[in-house]
Structure 1
Amino acid sequence: MSRTSIPVDSATKERLDQLKRDGETWDEFLERVTATEEPIEAGAWSDEQAERAKESIRQSRENWR
């Protein structure tokens, strides 16, 4: 496998270090942050979907008692 170096300034390196997980290689980190999968984001539900989910949770809690 060939290797390469990517020069970055120290401020960029510090930001990357903060994003990199413990035990993660730089290659694993770069693969993770450049993945094409869409992350699950907070607020992705419509108001109606969120309300239905809240109601389901409320009913589940009542049934648990």
Structure 2
Amino acid sequence: MAEKTVRVQQIGSPIRREASQRETLIGLKLNKLHRIAELPDTPSVRGMIAKVHHLVRVLDGAA
């Protein structure tokens, strides 16, 4: 069975955000607007997405 993945796109700027939110975006492999990253669908990745939900959009699946 193939490992599930989730695609996320950065839609918000990390400017004037807390450092932890900027670091979370870097952890999600996002560092510029409109970049798309494909990541494994794990609870830790879902938690990171939830932390910066206002800065990213989930392209596949429901968050």
Q: What TM-score do you get using the length of structure 2 for normalisation?
A: 0.31
TM-score for the superposition, normalised by structure 1: 0.30
Of Structure 1 and Structure 2, the greater helix share is in 1
- Name the one with the larger strand percent: 2
Whose relative contact order is higher, 1 or 2, with alpha carbons under 8 Å and at least 6 apart? 2
Which one has a bigger Cα radius of gyration? 1
